[in-house]
């Protein structure tokens, strides 16, 4: 039984300097290609030898994919912009602090220096059966080991599972959905723009992929519209230790207030479902009401009504309810 | 068949020409091709920080960085910290405070702390804690390391009386309150 | 004085075993069992690999006895016919390329006809689960004092409680690693280890070689905490077998997932207390049952159990005690030594039980402890009479003072009333730790330390005790230089190489300073006496040494000392009565926590650890030991949880098994009290393990104060606390 996983097998490395070149390489190598951003998720897979791409296309030299620019009250963020850059960018901090908080909550300083926002949203799930190479649904098999009667599923889904119960681990994804970000996707065939909310693959459609990216497509940039600029934001990530840990439950929310009442709101949770999800049940309780404790509790209760916990993750229900409640009421001083 | 890459790496201010398997990480090439074994293997998965080096001044996990990406970038490792016979203030402070116990996390800690002091020569204890949160240590409980960074920061700033008070040195004070 | 270990570590020049260059050497790797129990039907080598390029070793290549020498001879070096745990070593491979050998491990399949495994140590095994003796019990020890049954029957109040603690992974930052090579007719093994002579004995038995044909050298060791006490013997045998077959040097370095999955951890424990008390809270009877999960082989479980049981009654006086403990077999990866060696588990239980007693009697937990702490002249569970001049009440009071325990309680009442989501609380524990080997262990070891003068007047200290981060080189230098009046630079510490150093015992059990340091002092005196003037010190001594070498060309001036038990101590192994340890160190710990009621996450805000350790020889090192130990214990109490499948750890990587980061540690204030111990170096008692005994129960007590729940199982993860706290 092999537990050693400290070296990568060989691969062919390409370092294109433009998106067009990268897309051509992706098209040429098809399924054998692997797009490499910061490398944090990638090398984990490669050292495990579970994924063995022949051609690694390193996006690190493509300068057009990096940087943050102001754009009609909103922002355009290149997919290869590092998480440190996102977390500390004055434009992000001033207008969309929700995203800087989210980026700051990723792992550790080193990982934020190396990891990119594109990689963070496109990363694979942490389900350890899947990552351990078990032939599960997500790996193309026909069973979910994490949902089996004696399985260890503390980290898994309580909502929206279809066959696979793995969750999306991204910290920035719920913030981008709350901000109604648009994901710009390119292939050799052209460009398409997808709302962040729709960027993450529904398990009902394809259980083997985390996002709607096709094998020949790249996420090149993320556009954040002015809509939620300087709104009332809340971000909280619950984890087992203060750094270097994936989320158990995360909430990211944006609210607009008017006359003491919530005019509009987007509340997103992650760590509870196969993809980050907007909690529309909670939003509809909230809109038009004051953002207080009792509305928060009602919204939280509404949010978990359809939750179906597994053997070891019932704690995520009250956790999710309480985080939504706190997102609405605000943090206690 | 392994493919090889030839590249010039700028390591600790010196240009080194190295030939290495293209898929090898910076950690592997530093240790095997450059002979710089101060940077340690700890977990290989970006989960412990012992392999931290600076790339263009930023702390980076060398176990998760391809060497092939490093051409034209400046790499600093623990072996480059010392200036001639002069210890870097961080090295001196780690020595004086006993902040290197088993020593295995020390090179990575030193490099992360070097980057912090380059950016902020008067960090609070909380800022130090946050900056070092990507470097695990199992011996010290982190206190002596945090105190050593505070002390070294004072030396870097040129504070005449730099150095923690005795009670800080021996851990009796609250690190959050700083020196 | 300056730390001796520091400089090369700070320059990146310290050569840990993985840093040693390997020209023309081979890399070794291990093929392991996929199954927790069964007969090996076949070992299948994939035809896709050219095996001629590899050195392949299995049990048939073992020249000596196929077991890892330790307490019992049940653990095979390499499984022959059957396996008892997942990850049990079956086949070894070596190749010139690390990449090739790591890939090849996946091309060997061990096919096992499964037998039903025993996985829950708390349940009695079924008939088909018996694998050791008639009942799977590795060791059963009963400590008896007074008449417990009568005292329980008569006690006005009897309180019961059951407590559980989980396994803990050492997470030394340097993984296990070894190199072996053949030097003439000697097998040399060098690596990361705590006990050179344990490895030496394992090699002589397993390789069937004479003692002088095996040489063990310790390399700089990147943390041990007990994890490099017994396991390195396994790895040493493996790497030596490969080197013998290859006729070339072989290096084996575990990577993190392998190290976490396949090596030892702290024993999981189940502990039940029944305590009889009077209405004032005085302890009348303590009945304690202890079960430790030993894993698949005996390894060190009997002695871990022994230490755990001796500490199971806590640092309290009670006339009627029965502590009944067993270490039992399961088909798990074997558990082993971990800093504290069984005591943190039993102290967690007794301290939680004290809090439960206080709660049920409506008493203050501080006053309950104050009333029952051992006084001078009273005795422990084994009948050891404590007369060491230490003031245990002062240790307690100092911790209460430093932590402002009472003020914090009032402050927390106000804080908790003013907050909806947050609750604060403060908790206390009092504890003790016996230093050195248990009972007759030190006598049996009969350790020897040597010092050797060099012709230039310097002194070399020769022991088999090693540096792994705790400061051995510094403290030995300090002990030798102070006893000879020399400068630290005049003292050299020999590399722990069995060809040069005598067997001064393993670097475990908080014994290095107290026991071996004392031998160094005596060896120094022996050396000086050989010069004819026992008062020689400092420059005069140095000159006398130089003169001696001028007169004795080719001679060696040395001094030696062998362990002798302190006068008046006695221990009876059969009845488990008597002086279990030469000395106990005493501690009190106060922990303050904040619990977020909406997430049930716990944050430690402040820790105060006060200990009486005889004499602090080096304050900097001592505080480092305490702070590091406290953080390990906080990790064990709150976040470090091994997840098991078929008896193997499956969260075997460092973002799935979590240890505290710098962002998780609270302020830790450390203070010492000193009542010198006549038979320890300069009055010192052991210190290395004491700090991991106290924090876990204090964390749980603080959570109890904050939330009104009664945590009796650690780690207290948010979901465990959520189960206890129904208001979430």
In a domain, C53, yes or no: yes
Contacting chains of B (3 CB pairs or more, <8 Å) are A, C
* CA C77/CA C202 separation, integer angstroms: 10
CB distance A99 to A172 below 8 Å: yes
* CA A101/CA A254 separation, integer angstroms: 13
CB distance C475 to C585 below 8 Å: no
**What's the DSSP call for residue C516?**
I
Beta bridge mates, C435 = C583
CATH number at residue C180: 3.90.1170.50
Average pLDDT estimate for C65-70: 97
A106: left (phi over 0), alpha (psi -120 to 50) or beta: beta
On whether both C351 and C431 belong to a single domain, the answer is yes
Q: In total, how many domains does chain B have?
A: 2
Considering only the beta carbons, identify the residue of B43, B142, B174 that sits closest to C662: B142
On whether both B110 and B56 belong to a single domain, the answer is no
On whether both B94 and B167 belong to a single domain, the answer is yes
pLDDT digits (tens, 9 = 90+) for C463-492: 999 999 889 999 999 999 999 999 999 999
Would the ipTM clear 0.90, i.e. be above it? yes
Q: Percent of chain C at pLDDT above 70?
A: 99
* CA A165/CA A150 separation, integer angstroms: 14
On whether both B52 and B107 belong to a single domain, the answer is no
Q: Give the pLDDT band (50/70/90) at residue B171.
A: very low
C510: left (phi over 0), alpha (psi -120 to 50) or beta: left
CB atoms within 10 A of CB C368: 22
Average pLDDT estimate for C668-688: 95
Interacting residues of C723 by C-beta distance below 8 A, sequence separation 6+: A315
On whether both B104 and B163 belong to a single domain, the answer is yes
CB distance C432 to C586 below 8 Å: yes
| Cβ–Cβ contact A242 with B under 8 A | yes
State how far residue B175 is from chain A, nearest Cα, in angstroms. Answer: 17
CB distance A32 to A26 below 8 Å: no
> C-alpha distances in angstroms, C231 versus B101, B133, C225, C238, C245?
22, 30, 12, 11, 22
On whether both B133 and B165 belong to a single domain, the answer is yes
Mutate: best of C92, C114, C656, C726, partner A, most A CBs <10 A: C656
Buried/exposed B99-121: b ≥16 CB within 10 Å, e otherwise:
bbbbbbbbbbbbbbbbbbbeeee
A1 CB neighbours in chain C (<8 A) are 31-34, 86-87, 110
Q: Is C595 helix (H, G, I), strand (E, B) or coil?
A: strand
In a domain, B177, yes or no: no
* Nearest residue to B108 (alpha-carbon basis) of B21, B162, B30: B30
In a domain, C128, yes or no: no
∠ at Cα A225 (A219, A226), nearest 5°?
155
| Contact between chains at A242 and C87 (C-beta distance less than 8 A) | no
On whether both C506 and C612 belong to a single domain, the answer is no
| Contact between chains at C599 and A246 (C-beta distance less than 8 A) | no
Q: What are phi and psi of C154, to 5 degrees?
A: -90, -15
On whether both B98 and B137 belong to a single domain, the answer is yes
On whether both B76 and B149 belong to a single domain, the answer is no
- Structural domain including B64 reads 4-80
On whether both B70 and B100 belong to a single domain, the answer is no
Q: Which stretch of DSSP H or E encloses residue B17? A: strand B14-21
A13 CB neighbours in chain B (<8 A) are 3, 5, 22-23, 66, 68
In a domain, C144, yes or no: no
Q: In total, how many domains does chain C have?
A: 3
CATH number at residue B148: 1.10.150.120
In a domain, C567, yes or no: no
Model pLDDT, residue A70: 95
Average pLDDT estimate for A194-221: 95
Q: Give the pLDDT band (50/70/90) at residue B163.
A: low
On whether both C404 and C476 belong to a single domain, the answer is no
Q: Give the pLDDT band (50/70/90) at residue A3.
A: low
On whether both C620 and C494 belong to a single domain, the answer is no
On whether both B32 and B12 belong to a single domain, the answer is yes
In a domain, B116, yes or no: yes
Q: Give the pLDDT band (50/70/90) at residue C19.
A: very high
SS (H, E, C) C453-501: ECCCCCEEEECCCCCCCCCHHHHHHHHHHHHHCCCHHHEEECCCECCCC
Q: Which stretch of DSSP H or E encloses residue A44? A: helix A40-48
DSSP E strand boundaries for C116-156: 137-145
* Nearest residue to C268 (alpha-carbon basis) of C236, C291, C242, C298: C291
Beta bridge mates, C273 = C161, C288
- Residue A1 predicted with pLDDT over 80: no
Closest alpha carbon within chain C to A250: C599
Considering only the beta carbons, identify the residue of C470, C654, C669 that sits closest to B136: C654
On whether both C542 and C681 belong to a single domain, the answer is no
- Which of B50, B80, B110 delimits the end of a domain? B80
Q: Percent of chain C at pLDDT above 90?
A: 96
CB pairs under 8 A between A and C: 99
In a domain, C290, yes or no: yes
> C-alpha distances in angstroms, C538 versus A140, C476, C484, C700?
76, 17, 6, 52
State how far residue B72 is from chain C, nearest Cα, in angstroms. Answer: 24
Beta bridge mates, B8 = B17
pLDDT digits (tens, 9 = 90+) for A49-96: 788 899 999 999 999 999 999 989 999 999 999 999 999 999 999 999
On whether both B58 and B18 belong to a single domain, the answer is yes
Q: Cα B108 to chain center, whole Å?
A: 4
On whether both C224 and C97 belong to a single domain, the answer is yes
On whether both C318 and C415 belong to a single domain, the answer is yes
pLDDT digits (tens, 9 = 90+) for B89-137: 999 999 989 999 999 999 999 999 999 999 999 999 999 999 999 999 9
On whether both C458 and C470 belong to a single domain, the answer is yes
* CA B151/CA B153 separation, integer angstroms: 5
| Contact between chains at A241 and C34 (C-beta distance less than 8 A) | no
* CA C3/CA A131 separation, integer angstroms: 43
Interacting residues of C153 by C-beta distance below 8 A, sequence separation 6+: none
* CA C339/CA C337 separation, integer angstroms: 7
Mutate: best of A16, A108, A119, partner B, most B CBs <10 A: A108
- Which of C246, C262, C278 delimits the end of a domain? C262
- Which of C229, C262, C295 delimits the end of a domain? C262
| Contact between chains at A13 and B68 (C-beta distance less than 8 A) | yes
CATH number at residue C284: 3.30.365.10
State how far residue A318 is from chain C, nearest Cα, in angstroms. Answer: 7
* CA C40/CA C131 separation, integer angstroms: 16
* Nearest residue to A175 (alpha-carbon basis) of A60, A103, A252, A101: A252
CA atoms within 13 A on the CB side of C11: 13
In a domain, B159, yes or no: yes
* Nearest residue to C163 (alpha-carbon basis) of C308, C323, C289, C276: C289
- Residue C27 predicted with pLDDT over 50: yes
In a domain, C181, yes or no: yes
- Residue C6 predicted with pLDDT over 90: no
Model pLDDT, residue C568: 87
* CA C163/CA C378 separation, integer angstroms: 27
Which domains are assigned to chain A? 63-122+167-227 (3.30.465.10), 232-329 (3.30.390.50)
* CA A157/CA A147 separation, integer angstroms: 9
Q: What is the DSSP string of C367-406?
A: HHHHHHBPPTT-B-TT-PBP-S---HHHHHHHHHHHHTHH
On whether both C591 and C679 belong to a single domain, the answer is yes
- Residue C727 predicted with pLDDT over 70: no
In a domain, C613, yes or no: yes
- Which of C262, C287, C316 delimits the end of a domain? C262
> C-alpha distances in angstroms, C160 versus C285, C343, C356?
12, 20, 9
| Cβ–Cβ contact C106 with A under 8 A | yes
* Nearest residue to C281 (alpha-carbon basis) of C311, C248, C316, C239: C316
On whether both C66 and C87 belong to a single domain, the answer is yes
In a domain, C1, yes or no: no
Contacting chains of C (3 CB pairs or more, <8 Å) are A, B
Sheet holding C448-453, edge to edge: C491-493, C459-462, C448-453, C558-562
On whether both B157 and B127 belong to a single domain, the answer is yes
Angle, helices C301-310 vs C343-361, to 10°: value is: 30
On whether both B75 and B98 belong to a single domain, the answer is no
CB distance C151 to C362 below 8 Å: no
In a domain, B161, yes or no: yes
Angle, helices A293-304 vs A316-329, to 10°: value is: 150
In a domain, B136, yes or no: yes
- Which of B80, B114, B139 delimits the end of a domain? B80
On whether both C240 and C362 belong to a single domain, the answer is no
In a domain, B178, yes or no: no
* DSSP tally for chain C: helices H, then strands E: 18, 28
- Which of B80, B104, B134 delimits the end of a domain? B80
* Nearest residue to C344 (alpha-carbon basis) of C230, C425, C267, C435: C267
The Cα diameter of chain A in Å comes to 64
| Cβ–Cβ contact C623 with B under 8 A | yes
CB distance C306 to C438 below 8 Å: yes
* Nearest residue to A129 (alpha-carbon basis) of C108, C33, C114, C643: C643
**What's the DSSP call for residue C118?**
P
B66 CB neighbours in chain A (<8 A) are 13, 36, 39, 58
- Residue C603 predicted with pLDDT over 50: yes
Model pLDDT, residue B169: 40
- Structural domain including C221 reads 6-115+171-262
CB atoms within 10 A of CB B81: 21
Q: What are phi and psi of A77, to 5 degrees?
A: -120, 120
Q: What is the DSSP string of A114-163?
A: H-BHHHHHHPPP--HHHHTT---GGGTSS--GGGSTT---TTS-SSS-BS
Interacting residues of C145 by C-beta distance below 8 A, sequence separation 6+: C318, C319, C320, C321, C322, C379, C381, C382, C383
In a domain, B179, yes or no: no
| Contact between chains at B102 and C469 (C-beta distance less than 8 A) | yes
| Contact between chains at A114 and B131 (C-beta distance less than 8 A) | no
C7 CB neighbours in chain B (<8 A) are 95
Q: Which stretch of DSSP H or E encloses residue C181? A: strand C177-183
pLDDT digits (tens, 9 = 90+) for C166-222: 999 999 999 999 999 999 999 999 999 999 999 999 999 999 999 999 999 999 999
| Contact between chains at B174 and C667 (C-beta distance less than 8 A) | yes
State how far residue C163 is from chain A, nearest Cα, in angstroms. Answer: 21
Interacting residues of C123 by C-beta distance below 8 A, sequence separation 6+: none
CA atoms within 13 A on the CB side of C681: 31
∠ at Cα C329 (C325, C334), nearest 5°?
105
Q: Give the pLDDT band (50/70/90) at residue C456.
A: very high
B73 CB neighbours in chain A (<8 A) are none
Q: pTM for the whole thing? A: 0.96
On whether both C109 and C209 belong to a single domain, the answer is yes
């Amino acid at each position: 039984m092999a537990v050693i996983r400290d070296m990568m097998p060989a691969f062919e490395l390409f370092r294109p300097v433009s998106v067009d070149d990268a897309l051509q390489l992706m098209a040429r190598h098809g399924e054998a290609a692997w797009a490499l951003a910061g490398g944090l998720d990638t090398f984990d897979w490669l050292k495990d030898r579970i994924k063995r791409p022949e051609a690694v296309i390193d996006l690190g030299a493509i300068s057009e994919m990096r940087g943050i620019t102001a754009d009609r009250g909103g922002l355009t963020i290149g997919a290869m912009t590092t998480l440190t850059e996102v977390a500390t960018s004055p434009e992000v901090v001033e207008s969309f602090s929700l995203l800087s908080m989210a980026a700051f909550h990723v792992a550790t300083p080193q990982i934020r220096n190396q990891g990119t926002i594109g990689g963070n949203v496109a990363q694979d799930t942490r389900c350890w059966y899947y990552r351990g190479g078990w032939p599960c649904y997500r790996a193309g098999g026909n069973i979910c080991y994490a949902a089996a009667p004696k399985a260890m599923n503390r980290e898994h889904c309580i909502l929206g599972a279809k066959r696979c119960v793995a969750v999306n681990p991204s910290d920035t994804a719920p913030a981008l959905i709350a901000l109604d970000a648009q994901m710009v996707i390119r292939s050799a065939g052209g460009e398409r723009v997808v709302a962040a909310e729709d960027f993450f693959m529904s398990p009902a459609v394809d259980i083997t992929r985390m996002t709607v990216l096709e094998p020949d497509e790249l996420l090149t940039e993320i556009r954040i519209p002015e809509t939620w600029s300087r709104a009332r934001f809340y971000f909280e990530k619950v984890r087992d230790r203060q750094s270097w840990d994936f989320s158990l439950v995360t909430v990211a929310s944006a609210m607009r207030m008017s006359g003491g009442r919530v005019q509009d709101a987007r509340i997103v949770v992650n760590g509870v479902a196969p993809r980050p999800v907007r909690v529309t049940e909670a939003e509809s309780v909230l809109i038009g009401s004051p953002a207080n404790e009792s509305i928060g509790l009602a919204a939280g209760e509404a949010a978990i009504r359809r939750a179906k916990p597994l053997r070891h993750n019932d704690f995520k229900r009250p956790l999710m309810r309480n985080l939504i409640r706190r997102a609405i009421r605000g943090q206690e001083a | 068949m392994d493919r090889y890459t030839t590249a010039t790496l700028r390591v600790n201010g010196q240009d080194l020409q190295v030939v290495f398997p293209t898929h090898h990480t910076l950690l592997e090439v530093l240790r095997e091709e450059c002979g710089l074994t101060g940077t340690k293997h700890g977990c290989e998965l970006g989960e412990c920080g012992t392999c931290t080096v600076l790339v263009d001044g930023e702390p980076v996990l060398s176990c998760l960085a391809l060497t092939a990406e490093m051409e034209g970038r400046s790499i600093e490792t623990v072996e480059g910290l010392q200036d001639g016979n002069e210890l870097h203030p961080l090295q001196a402070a780690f020595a004086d405070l006993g902040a290197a116990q088993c020593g295995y996390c020390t090179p990575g800690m030193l490099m992360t702390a070097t980057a912090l002091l380059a950016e902020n020569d008067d960090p609070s204890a909380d800022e130090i804690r946050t900056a070092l949160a990507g470097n695990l240590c199992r011996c010290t409980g982190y206190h002596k390391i945090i105190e050593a960074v505070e002390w070294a920061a004072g030396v870097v700033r040129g504070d005449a009386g730099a150095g923690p008070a005795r009670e800080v040195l021996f851990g009796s004070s609250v690190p959050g309150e700083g020196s | 004085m300056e730390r001796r270990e520091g400089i090369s570590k700070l320059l990146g020049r310290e050569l840990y075993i993985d840093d040693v260059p390997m020209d023309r050497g081979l890399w070794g790797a291990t093929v392991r069992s996929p199954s927790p129990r069964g007969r090996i039907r076949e070992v299948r080598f994939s035809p896709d690999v050219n095996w001629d390029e590899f050195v392949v070793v299995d049990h048939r290549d073992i020249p000596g006895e196929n077991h890892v020498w330790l307490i019992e001879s049940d653990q095979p070096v390499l499984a022959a016919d059957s396996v008892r745990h997942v990850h049990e070593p079956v086949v070894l491979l070596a190749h010139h390329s690390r990449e090739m050998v790591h890939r090849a491990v996946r091309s060997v399949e061990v096919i096992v006809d499964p037998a039903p495994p025993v996985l829950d140590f708390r349940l009695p095994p079924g008939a088909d689960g018996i694998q050791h003796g008639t009942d799977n019990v590795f060791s059963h020890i009963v400590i008896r004092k007074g008449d417990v049954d009568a005292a329980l029957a008569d006690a006005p109040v009897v309180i019961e409680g059951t407590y559980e603690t989980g396994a803990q992974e050492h997470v030394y930052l340097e993984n296990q690693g070894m190199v072996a090579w053949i030097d003439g007719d000697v097998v040399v093994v060098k690596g990361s280890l705590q006990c050179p002579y344990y490895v030496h004995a394992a090699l002589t038995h397993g390789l069937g070689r004479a003692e002088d044909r095996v040489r063990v050298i310790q390399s700089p060791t990147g943390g041990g905490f007990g994890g490099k006490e017994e396991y390195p013997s396994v790895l040493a045998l493996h790497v030596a077998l490969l080197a013998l077959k290859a006729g070339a040097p072989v290096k084996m370095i575990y990577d993190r997932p392998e190290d976490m999955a396949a090596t030892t951890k702290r024993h999981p424990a189940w502990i039940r207390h029944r305590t009889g008390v009077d209405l004032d809270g005085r302890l009348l009877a303590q009945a304690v049952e202890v079960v430790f999960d030993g894993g698949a082989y005996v390894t060190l479980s009997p002695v871990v159990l022994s230490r755990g049981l001796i500490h199971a009654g806590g640092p309290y006086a009670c006339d009627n005690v029965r502590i009944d403990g067993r270490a039992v077999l399961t088909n798990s990866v074997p558990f082993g030594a971990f800093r504290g060696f069984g005591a943190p588990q039993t102290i967690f239980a007794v301290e939680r039980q004290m809090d439960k007693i206080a709660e049920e009697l409506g008493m203050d937990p501080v006053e309950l402890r104050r009333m029952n702490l051992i006084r001078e002249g009273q005795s422990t569970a084994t009948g050891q009479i404590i007369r060491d001049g230490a003031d245990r009440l002062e240790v307690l009071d100092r911790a209460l003072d430093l932590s402002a325990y009472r003020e914090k309680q009032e402050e927390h009442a106000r804080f908790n009333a003013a907050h909806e989501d947050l609750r604060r609380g403060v908790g206390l524990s009092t504890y003790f730790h016996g230093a050195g080997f248990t009972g007759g262990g030190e006598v049996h070891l009969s350790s020897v330390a040597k010092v050797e003068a060099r012709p230039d007047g310097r002194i070399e200290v020769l022991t088999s005790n090693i540096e792994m981060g705790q400061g051995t080189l510094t403290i030995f230098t300090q002990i030798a230089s102070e006893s000879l009046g020399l400068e630290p630079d005049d003292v050299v510490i020999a590399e722990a190489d069995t060809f040069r150093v005598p067997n001064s015992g393993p670097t475990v059990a908080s014994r290095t300073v107290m026991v071996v340091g004392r031998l160094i002092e005596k060896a120094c005196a022996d050396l000086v006496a050989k010069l004819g003037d026992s008062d020689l010190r400092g420059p005069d001594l140095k000159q006398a040494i130089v003169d001696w070498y001028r007169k004795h060309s080719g001679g060696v001036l040395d001094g030696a000392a062998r362990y002798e038990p302190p006068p008046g101590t006695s221990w009876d192994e059969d009845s488990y009565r008597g002086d279990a340890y030469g000395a106990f160190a005493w501690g009190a710990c106060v922990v303050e926590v904040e619990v977020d009621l909406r997430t049930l996450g716990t944050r430690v805000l402040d820790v105060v650890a006060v200990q009486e350790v005889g004499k602090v020889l080096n304050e900097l090192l001592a505080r480092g030991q305490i702070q590091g130990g406290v953080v390990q214990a906080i990790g064990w109490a709150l976040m470090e949880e091994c997840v098991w499948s078929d008896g193997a750890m499956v969260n075997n990587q460092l973002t799935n098994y979590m240890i505290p980061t710098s962002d998780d540690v609270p302020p830790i204030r450390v203070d010492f009290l000193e009542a010198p111990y006549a038979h320890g170096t300069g009055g010192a008692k052991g210190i290395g393990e004491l700090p991991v005994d106290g924090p876990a129960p204090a964390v749980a007590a603080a959570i109890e104060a904050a939330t009104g729940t009664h945590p009796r199982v650690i780690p207290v993860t948010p979901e465990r606390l959520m189960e206890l706290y129904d208001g979430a």
